[in-house]
Amino acid sequence: MSIDGSKLTIVGAGAVGTSAAHWAVSRKVAKEIVLLDVVEGIPQGKALDISQSAPLCGYHGSVIGTCNYKDTAGSDVVIVTAGLARKPGMSRDDLLAKNVEIVKQVTENIVANSPDAVIIVVTNPIDAMVYTVFKVSGFPKNRVVGMAGVLDSARYRTFLAQALGVAPKDVTALVMGIHGDNMLPLTRLASVGGVPVEELLSKEELAKIVKRTQTGGGEIVQHLKTGSAFTTPGLCAIEMAQAILFDEKRVLPCAAYLEGEFDINGVFLGVPVVLGKEGVERIVQFSLTQEERLALEKSVEAVKRQVDATGL
């Protein structure tokens, strides 16, 4: 797949942003990769380090570190990771007020310099931050999307694979809803090599895996003490960016704006979508059981509380 002329910007040169830049070079997703941060020297140094991996991974583009949004002009995709990270004992909701202001400023600069970009939001709490970007940018709903379900589903697939003793890539599983404790890891649709996991694991085993998936981010925070997950979140953002830049029509679970899909209106929520050059090209709908629908309603209620707290 050609990457000629494509431009990817990553806003925020913290752990997740740096991880995303690393994966972007490794996967050769864009001809020009820009890493931006407000702290002088940080994006420049990290971009220089990452660019020096080019001979080893076969990347032929450029990696630029900057504090100036003018260097991001004309980006096809912008990944927003800027914001405060979670600390032990801190919920995603605790981050909301502080990160709303950061994300508002970032969005205004993106719009001024890359008015045709697709924006992928990674900053937590994602479901509220992607709504913030949507409202501030004025972009159509297809060009604003949140990274959550790709990460949550990756964790879910990992835990299922470990329990089954199989290759993680052979596990298919979907997580819907909010990126938080009320997310919905669907057991009914999870399978390994086409075989439903409900026929391979007990209800008790599956319940434990579902719970661990729902608290997967917090588990990592507790171990790290001074940070949160970064390697896989960075890769998940690039998985989405690649689907858009290469027009892959990938079906991935993302936070998309719902207007009647799954009987939900006016919020961004994790659902399976088709990602291509236009961003969210469509939402993949299917029938939910009554239990699943009730669980999803809890996600909607939690997201609406977050959205109300943004004041937008």
Sign, CA dihedral 204-210-214-220, equals positive
Judged by DSSP in three states, 206 sits in helix
List the catalytic residue out of 22, 60, 179, 223.
179
Single-letter residue type at 115: P
**DSSP assignment letter at 177:** B
Whether the CB-CB separation of 241 and 105 falls below 8 Å is answered with no
Say how far apart CA 165 and CA 79 lie, in whole Å: 34
Neighbour tally for 154: CB within 10 Å: 21
- Quick one: angle between helices 15-27 and 42-51, nearest 10? 30
Do strands 195-196 and 250-259 pair parallel, antiparallel, or not at all (unpaired)?
A: unpaired
Do strands 279-283 and 265-276 pair parallel, antiparallel, or not at all (unpaired)?
A: antiparallel
Say how far apart CA 131 and CA 144 lie, in whole Å: 9
User: Residue 248, class by beta-carbon neighbours within 10 Å (0-12 exposed, 13-18 middle, 19+ buried)?
Assistant: middle
Residue 179 is a catalytic residue = yes
Give the catalytic positions in this structure: 179
